[in-house]
Structure 1
Amino acid sequence: MVAAVFLSFVAAIFTMGDPIEGGRPIIWTIWYVAVFLIIMMALYDFSKLSKTRMKRVALVGTVVGVVFFSSVKGYYVYTAGLRIEERGVELLDYKPFQQDSNLAKLDAPASFKIGSDVPRLDGATALYPLYAAFVEATYPSGNYDPYRPDASRVVSTTTGEAYDRLIYGQADIIFVAGPSDRQIAAAERTDVKFNMTPIGREAFIFFVHEDNPVDSLELEEIQQIYAGDIRNWKEVGGKDDSIRAFQRPEGSGSQTALQRMMGERELMDAPVEDVPEGMGGIIEQAAVYQNHKNAIGFSFRFYASEMITEHDIKLLQVNGVAPTVETIADGTYPITSEFYAITTEERYEQYKPFLDWMTSEEGQALVEQTGYVPLAKD
C-alpha cells in the first residue's frame, strides 16, 4: 500500500504542470495524496478487504493519480502553445549614468543642469526610458535605481502608484498618461491640484496574436468588443472563435486610456483572470501578459514595439491606419494622446525651469530620439 501511494505521489510530481505557473498543481498533488492516504488507512484499519483487494484499490488510486496529473500537464503544455507572452522589461537597461545603457543622448551637454537637490521622479514603465534620459542629461551623476523607491530619487513604479506618491508628497514630478477620474477624486480629497505639462504624444494601440487573420478594426468595432456587443472574431472578418478581450488593472495608464476611448459606451466587466498586471507593479521580474490566439489586448505603441521586442503579437490598424511615428505626428491614427510631466500646483513654480526644459528643443530632441513623438512646433 505504502509503495503504491509513493508511486502515485511520484507520478503526480513528474506529470504535473510547471509549479511556477501559479502553484496550483502542487496544491492539487498534496490534496490528492493526503486524501488517498486517509482512504487507504481507513480501509486498512476498518475493512475486512483481502490484501489482494487492497492492492487493487491502491493500483486504482495510482492510475487515477497518473491520469489526473497527466491531464494537468497536458493542459499547461497546450495553453503554453497558445499564449501571447510579453517578455519582461528590464529597467536597468535604461538606468542613467551607466555604460552601454539604451538611453537617448544629446549631442552636446544640456543647457539646463540641476544641482544637488534633485527632484524625486516616478512614472509609468513605458515612460521610464524618456525621463531616465532627462536625468542623465541634467542630474548630477549618481546611482538612481529604478526599483528602489525607498532609497532612489528616480524610480518607476506604476501609473497608479506614481499618482499616489505625488498626492502624498513622496514624489515631486511623475511621468504618466492623464489621470483617471479616481485619481482626480483622490487628489481632490487631499486638496491637491495637478499641474500637467505635455511633453510628447503617443498612440494607444491594440494587438492580437500574429496568427490571427484580422489586421485592422474600425474604432467602432473595438468599442463594441469592449462593450461586449461583439463576441466572436467572425463578426469582424476573423475565424469562428470567441473573442477574449483583456483589460488592465484600474488606475493604470492604459486602462484609463481604454475607458476614455469607450466614450459614452459602458465598458464591460472583465473576468479576474483577464486583468493581468502587465505594465504594472515594481517589475523586478518579468510582467507576463498571458493571453491566447483568440485574444485582443492593448498597450502604448512605444512599450509594445520598442521595450517589448520578443513576442508573437501584431499591432492592429485602426480605421485602416497603422500606429506609426508618422501617423501619430500627422494625426491620422485615430487614438493618440499627449503624455505628461505632472507636479502639483504647490510645487509647480519650484520645478518650472526643469519642466520648461523638457518642452525645449533639447528636451524634445530626447523625446524623439527615445522613440516617442515630440510636441508639434508652433
Structure 2
Amino acid sequence: MKLIKHLFVAITALGIGYSAQAGNITVKGSDTMVILGQKWAERYMQTHPQTKVQVTGGGTGVGIAALLNRGTDLANASRKMKPKEVTDFVKIYNKRPTEYKVALDGLSIYVNDQNPIKELSLEQLDGIFTGKIKNWKEVGGQDSRIVVYSRENSSGTYEFFKESVLKGKDFAAAVQTMPGTAAVLQAVAREKFGIGYGGAAYGAGAKDLAIKKDAGSKAVEPSEETVVNGTYPIWRYLYIYVNPAIDQGEIGSYLKWIRSDAGQRVVKDIGYYPLPENLQEK
C-alpha cells in the first residue's frame, strides 16, 4: 500500500473542539476500509495538491475512540456507531456526530479454493462460528475438522458479523482471531479446511461462498447487483463519522468528493460497491 506522508491535527486552544490544520486531514479506523481510504486519499491529492490526507487503520472501535478523543478528523467505520459511543460524543461536543454512508459491502464468507463446499445457509454459519458444527461433513463437505478464523473484537466487521449472523451469540472458544481481513484471507488460503469472513474487496487468494437466508432459500453470491438489491443476505453500508463543527472547508470538500461520481468510481475500482444514486453527492 502507498505510504502517505504523516500529518497532524491541530486542537483549538479552548479544548472544546478541533479542526484540521489548513490542508491537512487525518483519517483513522476500519481495517476493512483502509485500502479504500488510502486510494481515496491518493486520488484526491492528485487533483487537490494543496490538501494532504493521512489514512491509518486499527479497527472501527479505534477510529471512533480517536474521534471522541480529538485524535482524528474522520473515523472510518464498517458498522454504525453504538448508542453509547454517540452518547459519549454528545457529552463531549454537545451535538451528535455526522454520519455519512460512503460505500456498500457484501460481507463475504471465504473458504479455501480446494474446499468443495459452494454454499452455506445463515443457520449453518451460525453453527460453525459458535462451535455447534465442527466438521465439514455436517454441512455436506469432507470428513475434516473445520478451522475457523475471525477478526479481533475491536473490529467493526467482527461486531457486524456477530450481530447479523450470530444474532449476538458468542464466537466459539476455538475460533482463531486475526488482526485484519487480509490476515483472515491469508489464513484461509493456507488452510485447506479453513473458513473466515471479510469485506468483498479482499477476495483474492480464496473463494467466497453463495449464502442462503434459510434452508429453503436460493443461495446468492455477493455481487454489486445482489448487494444493491438486498438479495445477498450479509450486506452493509460503510461509514465515515465526523464532528459537525469541522464538516466544512477542506474536510467538507473531501467528504463531498468521496460521495461524488469520482469518489464512488474509486469504491468500484477497489472492489466494493458504489452508493445508490440517491445517496451520492451531486
Tell me the TM-score range normalised by the shorter chain: 0.7 to 0.9
Tell me by how many angstroms 1:288 deviates.
Answer: 5.6
The TM-score, its normalising length taken from structure 1, stands at 0.58
In the alignment, structure 1 residue 321 sits paired with structure 2 residue 227: no
Conserved in 2, the CA contact under 8 Å of 1:223 and 1:261?
no
Hey, what does 1:296 align to over in structure 2?
195
CA change 1:129–1:243 in 2 (3 A) is closer
In the alignment, structure 1 residue 176 sits paired with structure 2 residue 74: no
Conserved in 1, the CA contact under 8 Å of 2:130 and 2:166?
no
The correspondence for 1:342, drawn from 201, 216, 241, is: 241
Greater helix fraction, Structure 1 or Structure 2: 1
CA change 1:287–1:220 in 2 (3 A) is closer
Deviations 1:13-59 (A, max 9, x none): xxxxxxxxxxxxxxxxxxxxxxxxxxxxxxxxxxxxxxxxxxxxxxx
CA change 1:212–1:373 in 2 (3 A) is same
Greater strand fraction, Structure 1 or Structure 2: 2
Q: Residue 32 of structure 2 aligns to a residue in which SS?
A: helix
CA change 1:376–1:215 in 2 (3 A) is same
The correspondence for 1:354, drawn from 254, 258, 280, is: 254
In the alignment, structure 1 residue 120 sits paired with structure 2 residue 26: yes
Tell me by how many angstroms 1:293 deviates.
Answer: 2.3
Tell me by how many angstroms 1:373 deviates.
Answer: 1.0
Gaps of 5+ in 2: 6-19, 213-218
In the alignment, structure 1 residue 141 sits paired with structure 2 residue 41: no
Deviations 1:280-310 (A, max 9, x none): 9xx9xx996376322211111102x2xxx3x
Tell me by how many angstroms 1:201 deviates.
Answer: 0.3
Conserved in 2, the CA contact under 8 Å of 1:180 and 1:256?
no
In the alignment, structure 1 residue 369 sits paired with structure 2 residue 251: no
| Cα distance in 1 for residues equivalent to 2:176 and 2:166 | 22
Tell me by how many angstroms 1:203 deviates.
Answer: 0.8
In the alignment, structure 1 residue 278 sits paired with structure 2 residue 180: yes
The TM-score, its normalising length taken from structure 2, stands at 0.75
Tell me by how many angstroms 1:365 deviates.
Answer: 2.7
Tell me by how many angstroms 1:143 deviates.
Answer: 10
Hey, what does 1:220 align to over in structure 2?
123
Hey, what does 2:104 align to over in structure 1?
201
Q: Residue 156 of structure 1 aligns to a residue in which SS?
A: strand
Tell me by how many angstroms 1:235 deviates.
Answer: 1.5
Tell me by how many angstroms 1:346 deviates.
Answer: 4.1
Tell me by how many angstroms 1:117 deviates.
Answer: 2.9
- Counterpart of 2:187, as a letter, is Y
Tell me by how many angstroms 1:356 deviates.
Answer: 2.8
Conserved in 2, the CA contact under 8 Å of 1:368 and 1:374?
yes
- RMSD of the alignment, in Å? 3.2
Q: How many residues of Structure 1 are paired with residues of Structure 2 in the alignment?
A: 249
Hey, what does 1:230 align to over in structure 2?
133
Conserved in 1, the CA contact under 8 Å of 2:79 and 2:157?
no
| Cα distance in 2 for residues equivalent to 1:266 and 1:129 | 30
Gaps of 5+ in 1: 1-90, 98-113, 145-152
Identical counterparts, % of pairs: 22
Tell me by how many angstroms 1:256 deviates.
Answer: 1.4
Structure with greater Cα Rg: 1
| Cα distance in 2 for residues equivalent to 1:188 and 1:347 | 19
Hey, what does 1:266 align to over in structure 2?
169
CA change 1:363–1:276 in 2 (3 A) is closer
Alignment of 1:16-95 (within 5 A): 91-92=1-2, 95=3
Hey, what does 2:16 align to over in structure 1?
none
